[in-house]
Amino acid sequence: MNPLANDLSGSTPHALPTLGVVLVAAGRGERLGAGTPKAFVELHGRALLEFGVGVVTSLPHLGHLVVVAPESHAAIALDIVEQVLPEGSPWEVSVVPGGRERHESVRFGLEALPESVETVLVHDAARPFASAELFERVIAEVRRTGDAVVPALPVVDTIKRVDADGIVHETVDRAPLVAVQTPQGFARETLAAAHSTAQLQHEAGLPTDDAEVVQRAGAQVRTVPGEQRAHKLTAPADLAILEHFLTANLLGLESEA
């Protein structure tokens, strides 16, 4: 069933969205411990979700954005969407409730996308300052290659393998290691098929990103350059880092990688 069907009124043929974005905002934010889900934590008076909805709906694509929110915050999420959606935006937006685990939230988001969507990006609302350029880079690479695409940054710290007692056993060669971010992009069929079987694979541990879900299903995942400003709010110390990027953004220093 195409959820847009009801919108297709009148005699003008409407173009259907081929790009879908699932913005996952339904986590509990336990490590941050703010007492409110992370996507609704405010920076300079604006909820993180506002920034994510803003950047996605500013992309010049005919798209459908699904915001996956905690059931308790669905009304607030809708208010945010109404405030932020630019007038005349080519974006359709819906809000759906999330699941217990991140991969369930993603699946609920995917199920809410119209059938016309061919390329899907999944993005963490907890990464409010991922740039429009990063979204475009991921979209372009998915469309060019058909593969799954993740933004990645080189690992700069020295990496060591430790045991449960914190004893170091070895230094790991970091050359082939990268840290990955979101938005992650996929051919819609690849991601939907992988998520429909993901819950059968609990013995492999819970997947922490969507690239892992499609990789377990046999798909190829490739990287594009990530960016520091796509930093995720995880713990209280990350608030200062996000403050920095918000200020840099306000000052127009956006070209910083």
231: left (phi over 0), alpha (psi -120 to 50) or beta: beta
**Residue 105 binds: one of ligand CTP, Mg ion, none (C-beta under 5 to 8 A by kind):** ligand CTP
Of all residues in the shown chain, the one whose CB is closest to ligand CTP is: 27
Give the type of residue at 53: V
b (16+ CB within 10 A) / e for 176-201: eeeebbbbbbbbbebbbebbeebeee
C-alpha–C-alpha distance, residues 78 and 67, integer Å: 9
Q: Residue 92 belongs to what H/E stretch?
A: strand 92-97
Contact partner, 72, from ligand CTP, Mg ion, none, Cβ < 5-8 Å per class: none
CB 57, CB 20: distance < 8 Å: no
Nearer to Mg ion, 27 or 37 (CB): 27
User: Taking the complex as a whole, how short is the minimal distance between the CB of residue 105 and ligand CTP, in angstroms?
Assistant: 3
Q: Which residues bind Mg ion (CB under 5 A)?
A: 27
Least separation in angstroms between CB 164 and ligand CTP: 21
Tell me how far apart the alpha carbons of residues 40 and 90 are, in angstroms, rounded to a whole number.
25
Binding site for ligand CTP (CB under 6 A): 24-31, 38-39, 68, 98-102, 105, 124-126, 232, 234
Query: Nearer Cβ to ligand CTP, position 31 or 174?
Result: 31
- Contacted by 120, from ligand CTP, Mg ion, none: CB < 5 to 8 Å by type: none
Whole-number minimum distance, CB 102 to Mg ion, in Å?
6
